[in-house]
Amino acid sequence: MQSMSLDPAHPTPDPAADAATPSPQRESALSRQSQPVPRAIPAAPERTLGEPRVRNAAITNRNVSVYYGAKRALFDIDLDIGRHEVVALIGPSGCGKSTFLRCLNRMNDTIDGCRVTGDIQLDGQDIHSPELDVVQLRARVGMVFQKPNPFPKSIYDNVAYGPRIHGLVRTKLETDELVERSLTRAGLFEEVKDRLKASGTSLSGGQQQRLCIARAIAVQPEVILMDEPCSALDPIATAKVEQLIDDLRKNYTIAIVTHSMQQAARVSQRTAYFHLGRLVEVGPTGKIFRNPEHQLTVDYITGRFG
Ligand code: ADP
C-alpha cells in the first residue's frame, strides 16, 4: 500500500518559527516555502497493476490501442468487463476513458481517421469479425451518452423504435408490452404511463436520461455503456440514475465512464484507472479507493491532479 500521509518532502512550516519572525522578508520566504513544490509525475507501469482479467467476462480486451490519425490515444489496454458487474472507468480528462468505451461497440468506427487495433471479444466472438453485423453489435452493446438525447418522437416511440427496426416485435400488443417492460426497468413507467404519446423531449433531464436507458434496454442488450450519464443531471436525478444502475446490474453488464470518484465508489464493483492512454491499475472498487498500488492512482484519488 502507498502511504497516504503527508509527503515528507514537503514538511508543514513550523508555526512557532513563523510567529517568532514576523518580518516581511521572512513572511514572503515562508509563503514561498509553503507552496507545494511541483513533483515529477510518476511514469505509468509497464503492465497494468491489479486484476484486469476476470473469469466470467462478457467482454475481453487484449492489447487494444487506438489512434486518431498519427496520434496514439490508447496503449495496449487489457481489460475484461465481467458479466453482471459495473466497471467504472476513471482518470483525468483526456486519458482515454471515452475512447476506450467507444471501442466496445465500435463507435470509434464513426470517427474519421480513428483506428483501433487489438482483440476485443463479446461472449468469445471477435467484434471486428467481418461476419459480425455492427448494427446488431450496437444493439447487444448499447450506449447512453452524457447529454440525454431522446429522439424528437413520443415517449412510446422512443422506446418502440429500436425493437421495430430489429424485428423484435410483430404486433401492437407485443410492442406495448415491451415498451412497458423497458420503461419499468428504467424506473420511468409510473411517471409517464399517462402520457406515453407526449414528446420525449418534454420530460425533465433526469427523466430523459432514464428514457434513453429504456431505449437502450428495449433492444435487449447484454452490455450497456454509459459515458458520464449523470454529469448533466441535478443531484436528485443523479441519485435516481445511480439507483437504477445498481438495479440494472442484475440483468446487464455495465461499463461507466465517470469523473466523479464518489459515483464510481457508489455504483461500481470494479474500477479501472487510466492515465495518458494507459490503464494503470484495475481492481475491486473498495481496493482501488482504499488501498491503491500505484502512485498515479494514489495521486488521482487523493485529488492531487485530475
Ligand atoms: P477522456 O474520455 O478520458 O476525457 P478521450 O477518450 O475523450 O478522453 O480522449 C483521449 C485522447 O484522444 C485525448 O488526447 C483527446 O484529445 C483525443 N481524442 C478524443 N477524441 C478525438 C477525436 N475525435 N479526434 C482526435 N483526437 C481525439
Cα 74 to ligand 1 centre (Å): 9
Picking from 24-33, 132-141, 241-250, which range would have the lowest pLDDT averaged per residue? 24-33
Please give all residues whose beta carbon lies within 6 A of any atom in ligand 1, as ranges: 68, 73, 91, 93-99, 111
Ligand 1 atom closest to the Cα of residue 89 is 3
Among 99, 115, 146, 228, residue to substitute to test ligand 1 (most atoms within 8 Å of Cβ):
99
Among 64, 68, 72, 258, residue to substitute to test ligand 1 (most atoms within 8 Å of Cβ):
68
Note whether 104 and 142 are within 8 A (CB): no
Cα 106 to ligand 1 centre (Å): 15
Average pLDDT of every residue of the chain: 89
DSSP code string of the chain: ----S--TTSPPP-HHHHHH---HHHHHHHHHHHSPPP-PPPPPPSS-EE----SSEEEEEEEEEEEETTEEEEEEEEEEEETT-EEEEE-STTSSHHHHHHHTTTGGGGSTTEEEEEEEEETTEETT-TTS-HHHHHHHEEEE-SS----SSBHHHHHHHHHHHTT---SHHHHHHHHHHHHHHTT-HHHHTT-TTSBGGGS-HHHHHHHHHHHHHHT--SEEEEESTTTTS-HHHHHHHHHHHHHHTTT-EEEEE-S-HHHHHHH-SEEEEEETTEEEEEEEHHHHHHS--SHHHHHHHTTS--
Note whether 272 and 87 are within 8 A (CB): yes
Cα 95 to ligand 1 centre (Å): 7
Q: pLDDT tens-digit profile of 163-212?
A: 999 999 999 999 999 999 999 999 999 999 999 999 999 999 999 999 99
Residue 22 confidence (pLDDT) above 50: no
Quote the pLDDT of residue 38.
61
Q: Show Cβ contacts of residue 210 under 8 Å, excluding neighbours closer than 6 positions.
A: 186, 187, 188, 240, 241, 244
Residue-wise burial string across 129-168, b where 16 or more C-beta atoms lie within 10 A, e elsewhere: eeeeeeeebbbbbbbbebebebeeebbbbbbbebbeeeeb
Quote the pLDDT of residue 45.
87
Q: pLDDT tens-digit profile of 166-179?
A: 999 999 999 999 99
Residue 23 confidence (pLDDT) above 60: no
Mean pLDDT calculated for residue range 78-96: 97
Ligand 1 atom closest to the Cα of residue 99 is 6
Domains, in order of start, for the chain: 49-301 (3.40.50.300)
The predicted model scores a pTM of: 0.87
Amino acid letter, 44: A
Cα 154 to ligand 1 centre (Å): 34
Cα 118 to ligand 1 centre (Å): 18
